[in-house]
Structure 1
């Protein structure tokens, strides 16, 4: 294509080398710009080339074929934004809009997370390990036992936002679940607390505390105390010689898992509490022995607490 270049064109009308048209001036003798076949052929073929490149057949009766052709050429697919992905330009397109690609990462074991390019804020949900459940009281001689106290849940956060810098490596420690007590004929082993979940320098979530083992006795058998946590566990039931009241307690639930089930008092031996489910919940506690249980019968074992988890959105 070219600008008008006949002898009567107005020279440099739009800048150096950019000729234009003039209507002429009879008073000064300046002629109007002459038009020639070369110029009109140039315009015709430029416009016809656009229409034909789009695959549209030229039609003398239509006046919108260049517009139709441009749309077809620039928006070449039924879903034009697919062009961006197919051309590998998603990151560039989002950056131009001040946005970034979204993503989700889940860590159930300790490791690290690298903040993606363009990301300046993370939305994190996480929980520390739940505490182990206490065991129920056993029997020696004519003793009977109460129910153990259950484990507390780990500290948690849900969709909390943190400012970060792209490329930062965040070291993450996932808190382990606490170990439930192993019962005996007297007092069982000490249950343990859940581990802390540490997310770099952003936040430390504290593990749930263990339940307390139940005592035994000839007249009354106190239930075990609850484990501190988020929330706390529950007290075990007091024991009674002839009535199965020395039941264990359910573990504390977290936003990411239900607490372990409680063991009941038993005439053979106390039944075991169960482990916390999901993530961050406390272990259920064991029930105590009572009534016609053997003199050396043990109480129920405490259930383990559930481990922690970290979920990251951006």
Structure 2
């Protein structure tokens, strides 16, 4: 069990006792907190509730692939690994100790000079919906936004003896629209809501694995993929995700009609000077392969999930 592994690891390093947290819980001040495998996220305390020098100590399960999300509250900055974070970050190290320096969070070996230099610029990457609070001293941000892709359709399956089977592969989903290099005037303390639309799921195939021999006829169509959602940056940028790929069709003796690929997402709103670009038809999740079985082994495959959308915000403090 991951917790037992952690117990031994934590005891050897002298960080026990610790307080196990549940998903979404606020980290405790000056008390070690443990994020078990079931805990997907936690939150740093709000600055109004803590004093300069307050610490949070976070340890996570050593279970493979457990990188919980740590949410940075009320517009605070986080200085970690020579980067500045705002909004959220994923905890990848087994243990992390952070100190509140009066306006943000830093690791203990992050000097005051480092903090001042780091605070002059930063980047915030959003792969889930949230909000961006403009840091002090910032009057302009640069935004890149990309909507998610549609999912590919599943492949069809057709088997027949002695007739001729026909089966189509699923088509690709469309790719999402994007806006790049949008320079936006802001004021310190502005809160900009960020919406990240979901990516489209891949359509299921029948997935049948046929063996050779026998008199039979058998047809199954693939399922359509999923449409991707809309990604939005405040009222400034609104971009559409790619549309679903279609599931392949199966038939006997007469080939089915061609099926269309998923349509591209379009730029719905761009109230910025950024470069707007619609997606591409068929540029998203890949369609699954078909299976045409007549006397041998064959299997159809599901379509792939479309790529996720994102918003990236860069800033620099005024000289």
TM-score by length of 1: 0.50
Deviation of the 1:86 alpha carbon: 4.6
Note closer, same or farther for the CA distance 1:119–1:221 as it changes in structure 2 (3 Å cut).
Answer: same
Note closer, same or farther for the CA distance 1:88–1:170 as it changes in structure 2 (3 Å cut).
Answer: closer
230, 249, 269: which one pairs with 1:215? 249
Determine whether 1:170 maps to 2:186.
Answer: no
For 2:195 and 2:295, how far apart are their aligned partners in 1?
44
Q: Per-residue displacement from partner, 1:8-61 (whole Å, max 9, x unpaired)?
A: xxxxxxxxxxxxxxxxxxxxxxxxxxxxxxxxxxxxxxxxxxxxxxxxxxxxxx
Determine whether 1:155 maps to 2:160.
Answer: no
158, 173, 194: which one pairs with 1:139? 158
**Structure with the higher strand share, 1 or 2:** 2
Does the 8 Å CA contact 2:176/2:280 hold for their aligned counterparts? no
Q: Per-residue displacement from partner, 1:102-144 (whole Å, max 9, x unpaired)?
A: 2211111211110112322211111111100012221155532
For this pair of structures, how many residues does the alignment match?
Answer: 175
TM-score by length of 2: 0.49
Does the 8 Å CA contact 1:148/1:213 hold for their aligned counterparts? yes
Does the 8 Å CA contact 1:212/1:227 hold for their aligned counterparts? yes
Structure 2, unaligned stretches of length 5 or more? Answer: 1-111, 207-218, 265-277
**Structure with the higher helix share, 1 or 2:** 1
Does the 8 Å CA contact 2:152/2:244 hold for their aligned counterparts? yes
For 2:114 and 2:154, how far apart are their aligned partners in 1?
62
Q: What residue in structure 1 maps to residue 131 of structure 2?
A: 112
SS of residue in 2 equivalent to 1:139: strand
Structure 1, unaligned stretches of length 5 or more? Answer: 1-84, 92-99, 235-251, 253-281
Q: What residue in structure 1 maps to residue 304 of structure 2?
A: 303
Deviation of the 1:294 alpha carbon: 6.7
Q: What residue in structure 1 maps to residue 12 of structure 2?
A: none
For 1:102 and 1:225, how far apart are their aligned partners in 2?
45
For 1:299 and 1:147, how far apart are their aligned partners in 2?
8
Determine whether 1:101 maps to 2:149.
Answer: no
Q: Per-residue displacement from partner, 1:173-197 (whole Å, max 9, x unpaired)?
A: 1122101110124223331111111
Which structure 2 residues correspond to residues 57-68 of structure 1 after superposition, within 5 A? none
Deviation of the 1:305 alpha carbon: 0.5
Q: Per-residue displacement from partner, 1:239-259 (whole Å, max 9, x unpaired)?
A: xxxxxxxxxxxxx1xxxxxxx
For 1:208 and 1:200, how far apart are their aligned partners in 2?
20
214, 231, 246: which one pairs with 2:279? 231
Which structure 2 residues correspond to residues 69-88 of structure 1 after superposition, within 5 A? 86=113
Q: What residue in structure 1 maps to residue 285 of structure 2?
A: 283
For 1:304 and 1:87, how far apart are their aligned partners in 2?
41
More displaced, 165-174 or 180-189? 180-189
